[in-house]
Structure 1
Amino acid sequence: MMKRKLVITQNLNEHLLHKVIDILPDWTIITGSDSSIWEPHLKDAEIIAGWKKQMEEIILKEDINLKWLQTWSAGVNKVPLDYFHVKKIHLTSANGVHGYPISETIFAYMLSFTRKLHTYVRQQTQQTWHHANMNQELHEKTVGIIGVGHIGRETAKIAKAFRMKVLGIRNSGEQEEFVDEMYTSSDLHKILPQCDFVIVTLPLTPETKGLFGKEEFELMKSSSIFINIGRGAIVKETELIEALESKQIAGAGLDVFEIEPLPKESPLWKMENVIITPHTSGSTEYYNQRVLENIFIPNLQDYLNGKQPSVNLLNFDKGY
């Protein structure tokens, strides 16, 4: 009888790997990020932890044994969701592991803009001593968090330390600790004119694709800063560029883009009122540990007990 098989497409340290082995002593466990390690085992794998784009062609063509996919990212927009839905394959995401690192990146953007750190770094490379008209501060400003989930919640918590007013949007409109006023997604245009900082923390779904464009930027203050750590396709990038060039908004902190890597010819690279990070806002030394201990292992225990994985189980109708 063939052993049940788990494929983990990540390089785990021995300590983390043995946590899985201890739970699955009778399983075949394949680990490693190189595709030559895991690709031959996709057809037989009952569980896969870590989606890779090159898996799609194999999985869609083969008669596979897959029952559950645990992604290693919060976003699932690159997974063929319709196929997983039809085949009734459980899909769980890594949503929740990014709260600390991404909220820190968000505040790095915000503090850089208010205290001109990005300008001073550029001046340092040119050995230029100039005040750069620095006169802003973060305290008591208004921040709008578009998508109050794990990341938005942690961002709101930190914002209160700066005595900021926090406005939040989530589909349900349900109240959230550290958020002064909660709204539903239909209220987006209502809150944009109030915000000094607009932070997008949404997943990419059919409803959020292209959500921010010319109309939304025109509603924002000319002094406001736009921050996107969600997904690039949530923003109409050419219209964002126009808003930045025309000073419709004051600046943007961007970790995600419509095309990644960001093409070298993009005007965003040379804009002094833009801070670019290469989709690294969620990177942290604790990433694998958090995915494994906080999400995958609890889900694995559910699965072995004949239950659905309970942490971050995808609702296919909602897309998250």
Structure 2
Amino acid sequence: MLNTKHDRIRAVVWTERGVRLLDQRRLPQEETYWTATCAFEVAEAITKMVVRGAPAIGIAAAYGVVLAARARFAEANSNWKALIKTDLQDLEAARPTAVNLAWALKRMAALINGLPSDVDPENALLAEAQRIHEEDIAANRRMGELGAALIEGPAKVLTHCNTGSLATGGFGTALGVIRYAYSEGQINEVFADETRPWLQGARLTAWELLQDGIPVVLIADSVAPYLLGQGQIQWVIIGADRIAANGDIANKIGSYGLAVAARHHRVRFMVVAPTSTIDWNLPDGMGIPIEQRPPEEVLTLAGKEIAISGTKAYNPAFDVTPAHLIDVIVTEKGVVHQPSSERMKTLQV
């Protein structure tokens, strides 16, 4: 049974005042919370990466719809449905790559369509947002169990970016597998890439694992292929922000390079994500929109310039890893080995 001491962090919490978000831009130096009291502030928090990680973004957006309904009903009563459409559009535009955002908003919109116009919608919408949140945590625990069952321990694993409680409703996707396997003695060492340029591995994953009593070794991104070549790592375990119907995945920039290095060195490669991350309308990863972030994120570090003035920067937030480089995709509905279009269909139940 999972030791609960390895699952104590919650980055998104509903309060009567609004959505309480752990400001991930300030970790690990400061543990600061941001309370968004309207849909605009939720969208701003998503865009500015106060909250990040595909599942967490979707959950925050669902709560943002609740806040939008509260404001629109107070403003216009029976006309609230017409006015809230703008809020839904603003929330969906906050970040384009993570499909969970659109998925959660579509689910909330479906409920809105069935609600009466002359009754305060807040309680019904809040109940649905909380269901989305609770379902995510349950899915993460199930994925943790399924993924851990694939690991023959004691193993050393490598992860990239942050895929834990900070990126989800709680427990985590790839870090959920690591949490579960660590608690069962199947993992004895975790390596984390620093994950430039936002340093999610250094700032967030290392902080989160140590908060939950799981030791971690931080490495520069460029060390990873060398480490894999030393035979020290048995699994690379990452999350995904969008999965195409054939099993291609978009994840934090650097994931594709890890997959190439892992395949070359015969290290197994696991992707862990809920089925809400799968975009069944995209046949392959070529159609996944890749968010382009500001060049300043590459040209500066901790607010200080690290490149000479006039230097240009290319800063895609994500890359696409083709399915043929992935050994297994773990979801709450099951595990897909050597993913392909046909094998992925087993998850459509």
For normalisation by structure 1, the TM-score amounts to 0.40
More helix by share: 2
Structure scoring higher RCO (CA < 8 A, sep ≥ 6) equals 2
Bigger Rg, which one? 1
